[in-house]
């Protein structure tokens, strides 16, 4: 193996290891929040009750909040809120059903 090829292989390996560390750090930064106890929560395709239900969270579930956005106002166990939590790509739940410890935003706004 030539010196140039050896450097390229080593650089590629080091870059891959660095990206793995970055991915792990980014994943660790996501915080999970519990949904209201004893409640099954509808997960919708957008931030409102007019969007389709894509699945239902079981009682006792916890969800990551990647970003938050305003939408339909909903009253739930944690008050009345128009904030919707993005828990996965194309999946939203009303913040009124998620125990975030705040009446306001706890994550960045969705783009």
User: Measuring CA to CA, how many Å separate 15 from each of 23, 26, 64?
Assistant: 12, 16, 28
Lookup: tokens for 49: 């009750």
The pLDDT, as a whole number, for residue 16 is 44
Q: pLDDT truncated to tens, each residue of the chain (111 aa)?
A: 554 444 444 444 444 443 344 444 445 578 999 999 999 999 999 999 999 999 999 999 999 999 999 999 999 999 999 999 999 999 999 999 999 999 999 999 998
Tell me the whole-structure pTM to 2 decimals.
0.75
DSSP string, 70-107: EEEEEEETTEEEEEEEEEETTEEEEGGGB--S-SS-SS
How many alpha carbons lie under 13 Å from residue 7 in its C-beta half-sphere?
3
The pLDDT, as a whole number, for residue 1 is 56
């Amino acid at each position: 193996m030539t010196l140039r090829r050896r450097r390229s292989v080593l650089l590629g390996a080091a870059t891959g290891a660095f990206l793995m560390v970055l991915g792990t750090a980014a994943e660790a930064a996501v915080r999970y929040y519990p949904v209201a106890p004893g409640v099954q929560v509808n997960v919708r395709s957008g931030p409102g009750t007019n969007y389709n239900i894509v699945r239902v969270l079981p009682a006792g579930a916890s969800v990551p909040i990647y970003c938050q956005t305003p939408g339909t106002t909903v009253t739930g166990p944690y008050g009345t809120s128009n904030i919707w939590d993005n828990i996965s790509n194309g999946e939203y739940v009303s913040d009124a059903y998620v125990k975030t410890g705040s009446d306001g935003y706890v994550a960045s706004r969705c783009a």
